[in-house]
Structure 1
Amino acid sequence: MTRFDPRDILPDALVERIRHRAPSVDARNVFPEEDLAELREAGYLSVLVPADRGGAGLGLAEACVLQQRLAEAAPATALAVNMHLVWTGVAKMMRDRGLDELRFVQEGAAAGEVFAFGISEAGNDLVLFGSDTVAEPLAGGAYAFTGTKIFTSLAPVWTQLGLHGLDTASPDGPKLVYAFVPRDERVVTRDDWDTLGMRGTQSRTTELHGVVAPADRVVRRVPPGPNPDPIVFGIFSTFELLLASVYTGIARRALDLAVAAAEGRRSKKTGKPLSQDPDIRWHIADMALAYDALPPQLASLAHDVDAQADHGSRWFSLLSGVKHRATGTAKRIVDDAMLVAGGSSYFASNELSRLYRDVLAGAFHPSDPESAHATVAAAWLGPLEQ
């Protein structure tokens, strides 16, 4: 078997160009159009698409490695592309299990289409298990969607929006409807992405005013609430693992910058590099000990998804757990990296300052800390008594 080398898809020169552009993208609060163009040209949008449909034919485990590498260069670019990769990952996972409703996602990604993720809604802590968006059934199996989605990454550039809404009108309802809609005049994208960090994702608010998903783009109708439908597991598994990969990449970059700072700074007291200071060495070691645990966890769980391993009821706690650990660990590592680097890291022009702002977003992605703890507690202690 040929060993996977992420540099075959993300060569060093491309990574460095993306890294070079990241400060300007953040400072100007714009979408990284040049990054997307180069990634599309490199076939990055179709890495999870099977070879027989025009893609690279990689598995989720390899995509996680690629996302770590991309996030080391530009976290916001990686997080934005993540949402496209989620849908291609769901399509792959379902096809691997004999379900081909998302063939159009695979073929579209291979042709250069950009798929965005329209699930999050303000105040909807049910996330995948409920929706405030109205899914109105139309003749022939189509649906019209009306509602507001938040944190819609890739907002300026997506061509298809994967979303869900609640159908309460059909005789067999209520049903959560998963579908894809095109960008047209019934979609309003607010220019409201003025955030502390992850500015290049341009995850703007999206208003849906009766936008129609044709019948052949309505992929699943499932009961609201927790359920074992493959699309629910597919979204949750790919979302959590790819998201954790982005923050693991941030952690690695912060650790590398801390090492470089320790080797480059000298103590006035001793005349030696700070890399020889016992306290600094302890900080670096503590950061490395924490970081080293993340890539193997991601690799193991992503491989299990690819191999269709059976973790039964443990799956959701394992997936939410690795996301929680990755985002929390990345934040602690960035905090320590800034201490090692010293006061210069407090300036906005310093890369660690940008990583410090970017890494804060990790707590707001599903599963948030409260949800992760509730999921893991239920896995070990059983559900709360009613």
Structure 2
Amino acid sequence: MTPDPWHMLSDEERMFCDVLTRLCAEQIAPRAAETDETSGFVHDQLAVLAEAGMMGANLPEEYDGSSISAPALLRAVSIVAGACGSTASALTAHYLATDSILIGGTDAQKREWLPRAATGTVLGAFALTEPTAGSDPADMKTRARRTDGGWHLKGSKCFISNGGVADFLVVYAVTDPDKAHRGISAFILPKGTPGLDAGPPERTMGLKGGHVFTLNLDCQLPADALLGEEGKGFRTAMQVLDNGRIEVAAQCLGMAKAAMDAAIAYARDRVIGGQALSERQGIRWMIADMGVAYQSALLVAQDAARQRDLAHQGGGRFSLAASMAKLAASEAAGRIADTALQLHGGYGYTRDFPIERINRDLRIMRIYEGSSEIQRIIISGNMLA
């Protein structure tokens, strides 16, 4: 008997994931190809996830969240991603925004935004990346200057998931240029804030239903728009990204498993010369390599999720584990999806099979929330310290 890879989940968490699996299979996966073709934003799919409690799965019960463990969240996000990468991308972008408020916000800000975000009443976006400040947020150019009664925020952000459709954004900006990363703060901007302008969605290679936007900012904000304390934005963002990198790993695992399962099914059903592909040694080696790559990435990601829970209980960090999980899962998923396409032959290159879409959806995973190269810098830095 194959060991249960999710044995660490509680009975309640297993039930949560079982319900989510059914909902995704019935209401989200059947729309994935259409979403990719039309590039329509995944509003309806997020509504399904809200009913299942997924919009607040990263939040504690006191803010109406699901309060599941980090390994259970890893499993849940992977289920969504296996059904539709675009939906998982929009969901986890929402988590980046709500994690920002949970980690860095005041009690009043948490009470105002998190319960509504947990139920899916409002959708969030996390605005950190800029044209000249992607891998190095400390080089951001967006500025927030104190004014009578508030702040004036001016600058631009790029590749912001959910940015043009979100009900609120957490925007990071420099409030004291002389203090480098210690001079970065964060602000909550509700939808419709004057001076907040989102361009059209970017025309992306994949994840076409999880829209990303360029944002132009020239906003006058009230004093209470400041998220938590001034100068604490960079620290908040880095803690949020630790969480987010494990969620990227979860997306990679979900899509990789979908690709691997599709390849195995195809190999069993496809008969050439009177013999199923699955009976050929070369194909079996390909399947074995996919299985090893998937299991290896899964174990690294599960370890990072456990460290995330321990760190949140004790106030520590798990940056190294998060970077390892993101790097391992994104690189493995790319190899698995490519192998799955190769196994399909010419059919894998057509839109009639999901493998083509999964390959495109996965490609960004080695770039966003810290590219593979950045993860290697983080990992080696920790190893050499």
TM tier, smaller? 0.7 to 0.9
By how many angstroms is 1:221 displaced? 2.5
1:148 aligns with 2:151: no
Decide whether the 8 Å contact of 1:161 with 1:183 is kept in 2. Answer: yes
Aligned to 2:64: 54
Shift in CA distance, 311/252, structure 1 to aligned 2, threshold 3 Å: farther
1:130 Cα shift?
A: 3.9
Contact residue 132 and residue 139 of structure 2 kept, 8 A: no
**Counterpart code for 1:88:** T
1:298-339 C-alpha deviation (Å, 9 max, x unpaired):
222122222227999984333222111111111100010011
Out of 343, 346, 349, which is 2:349 matched to?
346
1:138 aligns with 2:152: no
Structure 1 residue 157, shift from structure 2 partner: 2.5
Which residue is equivalent to 2:7? none
1:140-165 Cα offsets, whole Å, 9 max, x none, are 4x333211111111234311101100
Judge which range, 187-196 or 309-318, deviates more.
Answer: 309-318
Aligned length: 373
Correspondent of 1:85 among 92, 95, 110 = 95
* Structure 2 match to 1:272: 275
Give the Å deviation of 1:195.
1.4
Q: CA deviation at 1:186?
A: 1.5
Q: Return the alpha-carbon distance in structure 2 between the equivalents of residues 252 and 101 of structure 1.
A: 38
1:287 matches 2:287: no
Q: Within the alignment, does 1:304 sit opposite 2:307 as a pair?
A: yes
Q: 1:320 aligns with which of 315, 319, 323?
A: 323
Equivalent residue letter for 1:154: N
Q: Distance in 2 between matches of 1:221 and 1:306?
A: 27
Equivalent residue letter for 2:95: L
Alignment of 1:156-305 (within 5 A): 156-168=164-176, 175-184=183-192, 185-212=194-221, 214-215=223-224, 217-222=226-231, 229=235, 231-268=236-273, 271-305=274-308
The 8 Å contact of residues 259 and 340 in structure 2, kept in 1 or not, is answered as: yes
Match of 2:30 in 1: 20
Answer 1 or 2: which has greater helix percent.
2
Q: Could you tell which deviates more after superposition, 312-321 or 166-175?
A: 166-175
1:355-370 counterparts in 2 under 5 A? 355-370=358-373
TM-score (normalised: structure 2)? 0.88
Identity of aligned residues (%): 23
Calculate the aligned-residue CA RMSD, in Å: 2.9
Q: Which residue of 2 aligns with 1:337?
A: 340
Question: Normalising by structure 1, what TM-score?
Answer: 0.87
Counterpart secondary structure, 2:197:
strand
Tell me the CA shift for residue 100 of structure 1.
Answer: 8.2
Aligned-partner SS, 1:10 = helix
Q: How far apart are 1:355 and its partner, in Å?
A: 0.7
Shift of 1:11: 4.2
